Amino acid sequence: MALHHPHDHDHKLNDTQHLNRAFLTGISLNMSFVFIEVFYGWQANSLSLLADAGHNFSDVFSLLLAWFALWLSQFANTHQRSYGWRKSSILVALLNASLLIMAMAMMAIEAIQRLQHPTPVAGLTMMIVASIGVLINGLSALLFLGDSQHDINIKAAFWHLLSDALISLAVVVAGLAYLVCAWTWIDAALSLLIALVIVIGTWPLWRESLHLALDGVPSQIDFDDIRHYLLTLANVEAVTDLHIWAISSSEIALTAHLVVHKLENPDDFLRTIHHQLQTDFAITHITIQMSRQAFAACKAEC
């Protein structure tokens, strides 16, 4: 038994259209900036600019992956795939978080090598180009800020863009420090610092993506709270075989077996459960089984 509101489809369609525009804008802006950074990074002999160009290109790839996952998640269910391709959004979030951590590791290695052998850079060119990067990546990240709060796939894309904005900001600071103090090491030092900050920030995203990919309970859901709620329902004697997992980066499913007695209006009872789980816990796919006694398998395993 599932309850659906008439406006759900239109609301989801509007969200998808908004995200499509955000992805198209973000990809276009970042791809254009990649070419600018490669050219001027080579001219300025700046590791930060070249590293940021490489990271920006990985962001374009990551945005394409996230957009592809969004597209896949809209495919209808089939007999072979009862949940469609919705899980792809979680897998892409895991892949994007992994790519970001690997990119930062490579950047850190290059920065350490450059620290050992510092070279002069064109500070003014670095500052001008990186300032454009702060603007482009900052605006692109803002496009995904709202949706990143409740969709881990969009959150991964947001983190890629935010990390680029931070790297570009570090390049601006490095260029200024070089112009004022002639510190040839500042470019690599700030690159190393930003890489560390981004890895620390991305780690929880990677861990949560892996957790959801393995059908773990989403972090915003308290398993014990839901069990307690079900046990407090009238006529419920026991809750067994309770499972909660993420179908996609924005949808949560629940199945449970309730042991009940003297149930006069089962339809009303189920309707109440569905409503509360949807409104209080944001669970979208709910399957409740009821019986007057627990099955032997559930007694032993649940």
Please write the tens of the pLDDT for every residue from 16-42: 788 888 899 999 998 998 888 788 878
State whether 199 and 239 are in the same domain.
no
Q: Which among 175, 190, 213 is the end of a domain? A: 213
Res. 297: pLDDT tops 70: no
Q: Are residues 153 and 206 in the same domain?
A: yes
Predicted local confidence at residue 299, as pLDDT: 52
Is 3 part of a structural domain of the chain? Answer: no
> What pTM does this model have?
0.78
Q: Which position has the token pair 């702060």?
A: 134
**Do 189 and 235 fall within a single domain?**
no
Of 178, 213, 248, the last residue of a domain is: 213
Among 112, 100, 263, CA closest to 167: 100
CA dihedral 125, 130, 133, 135 (to 10 degrees): -100
**What confidence tier does 298 reach under pLDDT thresholds 50, 70, 90?**
low
Give the residue, 229 or 57, on which the prediction is more confident.
229
Portion of the chain with pLDDT greater than 70, in percent: 90
* pLDDT computed for residue 266 by the predictor: 87
User: What pLDDT does 28 receive?
Assistant: 92
**pLDDT average, residue stretch 79-83:** 86
Report the alpha-carbon angle 100-105-108, nearest 5.
Answer: 125
Pick the closest to residue 253 from 282, 276, 231 (CA basis): 282
148 within domain boundaries: yes
pLDDT at 14: 60
In sequence order, the β-bridge partners of residue 257 are: 240, 289
- Poorest-confidence range of 119-123, 177-181, 200-204, 288-292? 119-123
Q: What are the tokens at 62?
A: 């990551």
Domain containing 256 equals: 223-301
Write down which residue in 213, 247, 269 finishes a domain: 213
CATH number at residue 266: 3.30.70.1350
Q: Are residues 174 and 295 in the same domain?
A: no
**Res 11: pLDDT:** 47
Least confident segment among 5-19, 53-67, 152-166, 265-279 = 5-19
3-state secondary structure of 260: strand
Beta bridge partners of residue 252, listed in sequence order: 246
Question: Is there a single domain that holds both residue 189 and residue 260?
Answer: no
Interatomic CA distance for residues 262 and 155, integer angstroms: 46
Looking at per-residue pLDDT, the higher value among 229 and 82 belongs to 229
Whether residues 125 and 250 share a domain: the answer is no
Residue 218 lies in a domain: no
Token pair belonging to 68 = 């592809």
The whole-number pLDDT of residue 4 equals 42
For the chain, how far is it from start to end, CA to CA, in angstroms? 23
| CATH code assigned at 66 | 1.20.1510.10
Mean pLDDT of 134-146: 89
- Looking at the structure, do residues 178 and 264 belong to the same domain, yes or no? no
The backbone torsions φ and ψ at residue 208, rounded to the nearest 5 degrees and listed phi first, read -65, -40
Question: pLDDT at residue 74 above 70?
Answer: yes
And the tokens for 266? Answer: 């089962």
Give DSSP secondary structure letters for 164-187: HHHHHHHHHHHHHHHHHH--TTHH
Q: What is the pLDDT of residue 258?
A: 94
Please check whether residue 71 lies inside any domain of the structure.
Answer: yes
- Residues 43-64, mean pLDDT to the nearest whole number: 77
Residues 267, 189: one domain?
no
Please indicate, yes or no, whether residues 45 and 127 belong to a single structural domain of this protein. yes
Mean pLDDT along residues 273-283: 94
Q: Is 1 a member of any domain?
A: no
Q: Would residue 60 count as lying in a domain?
A: yes
- Of 200-204, 240-244, 261-265, the poorest mean pLDDT is in 261-265
Instruction: Please indicate, yes or no, if residue 183 is contained in any of the structural domains.
Output: yes
Structure tokens given for 46: 């700046």
Whether 124 and 233 map to the same domain: the answer is no
Q: Does the residue 250 lie in any domain?
A: yes
183 & 239 share domain: no
pLDDT band at 235 (very low <50, low <70, confident <90, very high): confident
- Tell me: pLDDT of 123 over 50: yes
- Residue found under tokens 């398993």: 223
Backbone angles phi, psi at 288, to 5 degrees: -115, 125
Based on the fold, state whether residues 230 and 208 are members of the same structural domain: no
How many structural domains does the chain have? 2
Place of tokens 């001008």: 128
Q: How confident is the model at residue 48 (pLDDT cuts 50, 70, 90)?
A: low
Answer yes or no: is pLDDT of 277 > 90.
Answer: yes
pLDDT class for 1, splitting at 50, 70, 90?
Answer: very low
Look over the chain and give the mean of its residue pLDDT values, rounded to a whole number: 84
pLDDT score recorded for residue 264: 79
